Structures are given as structure tokens and as C-alpha cells.
A and B are shown apart, each in its own frame.
Chain A
Amino acid sequence: DVKVTQSSRYLVKRTGEKVFLECVQDMDHENMFWYRQDPGLGLRLIYFSYDVKMKEKGDIPEGYSVSREKKERFSLILESASTNQTSMYLCASSRRGRSGGYTFGSGTRLTVV
């Protein structure tokens, strides 16, 4: 069963901590994405990557960075966590060049206290 795996379902971090959210896919997809989901705001794109070592800013990249050292892994980094980064974080992947559906992970609910 093909899937996207996010390392944690729930995470609680303190303000100012550096936070790593990991995402791994086993479908050999070229494209990977990070979204955050907040009530009333829907899903908003943070960063995406179309290939190893490539990254593109989404709509809300401020306060975040990403790393894609291997094709199957896309990490989201909160450089200095703040309370307004409390959210559900969703990772997704897709195949390059084909307009097809995304495969999503189960999400990481991050709380920053």
C-alpha cells in the first residue's frame, strides 16, 4: 500500500525551539509539498519541491525552511517556533508532469506553548 508517512501525529514544542517535521514517501514521486491547515483558512501552501535539493516558496513560507536531500524525504523546519505556528501540518507528494492527485500523509498536529 503506497503511502506518505509523517513522523509524528502529535507534537508539543516550546516557543523558540527548532522543530523538525519529517515526511517520507515510498512512491518514487518527484514532487513533495508542505501545507498547513487552520480552521476557517483551509490548506495553505508553505513550501514545495520538484526534485532533490530543489525548493520553492509557497504562499506562507515565513518562519519555515525545508530540506530535500533525498527523493523520498522532505523535511519542514520551524527555525524558532512561535505560538502562531500551532497548526495541523500536512505533507503530500505527486508524480512530476502528470496532473494527477496528491497523496497525503495523516498530518502532524503541532502545538507550540
Chain B
Amino acid sequence: SQQGEEDPQALSIQEGENATMNCSYKTSINNLQWYRQNSGRGLVHLILIRSNEREKHSGRLRVTLDTSKKSSSLLITASRAADTASYFCATDVGRNTPLVFGKGTRLSVIA
């Protein structure tokens, strides 16, 4: 299965600290994306990194991709209580192929 695996399953940090979540996958990919899900709601797209990119930034988010290790990391800097959510990585193997999601990391940011 192509499904990604996030690590850790759950993470609890203090407000202001950085949060790092990791994703590993099994097959060669075209793109890797990160999504956020607030409790009981739909997922929101955060950032996309292509297989030929190594790092990407968006605001307080930093994503890295290491295709040789089949892994990615999502760093949220200066976390806020509002960042409390579940975070999912998702991969596709080509244009117009459906995304396959991992099981997610539950992040709790304590004020």
C-alpha cells in the first residue's frame, strides 16, 4: 500500500514551541501534501511539495521531502493553541491519481 504513516501518533507541546511531525511512505510519489483537520470537521489543505523539491515554506509552516528515504516532515514554528488539530500527509503517484492519506498526527498545543 502507498499509505503514508505519520509519526508520532500524538504530540503535546506548549504554546510558542515548535512542532515537528513526520511522514513516511512506501512507493515513489509525484507529490506530497499536508492537511489539517479540526475535530470532527473536514480537512484543509496546507501545503504541497513536489517530488523534485526538497523544502517549502508557507508562513509558519516548513515542509521537507527526502525521496531517498521516502519521508517528509512538517514543522510548525511558534505554535499557538489554535494549531491544535490532526495533521495528515497525503501522496499521489501521478497527475490525476487520487490522494492516499496517512493516519494522522494529533497535535495538542497547550496555552
Binding site for B on A (CB under 8 A): 4, 31, 33, 35, 40-43, 45, 48, 50, 58, 88, 90, 92, 96-107, 109
Contact = CB atoms under 8 A, between A and B. Distances in A.
B42 A104 contact: yes
A31 B96 CA distance: 8
Contacts of A101: 33, 35, 45, 48
Residue of B48, B50, B96, B100 with most partner-chain A CB within 10 A = B96
Given A101-B45, A101-B48, 17 more contacts: A41-B103, A42-B102, A43-B43, A43-B88, A43-B101, A45-B99, A48-B98, A90-B43, A92-B42, A97-B95, A101-B33, A102-B99, A104-B42, A104-B43, A104-B44, A107-B40, A107-B42
A33 B98 contact: yes
Interface band, chain B: 20 to 34
Contacts of A33: 98-99
A96 B96 contact: yes
Contacts of B104: 42
B36 to A, nearest CB: 11
B71 interface: no
B30 interface: yes
A71 to B, nearest CB: 16
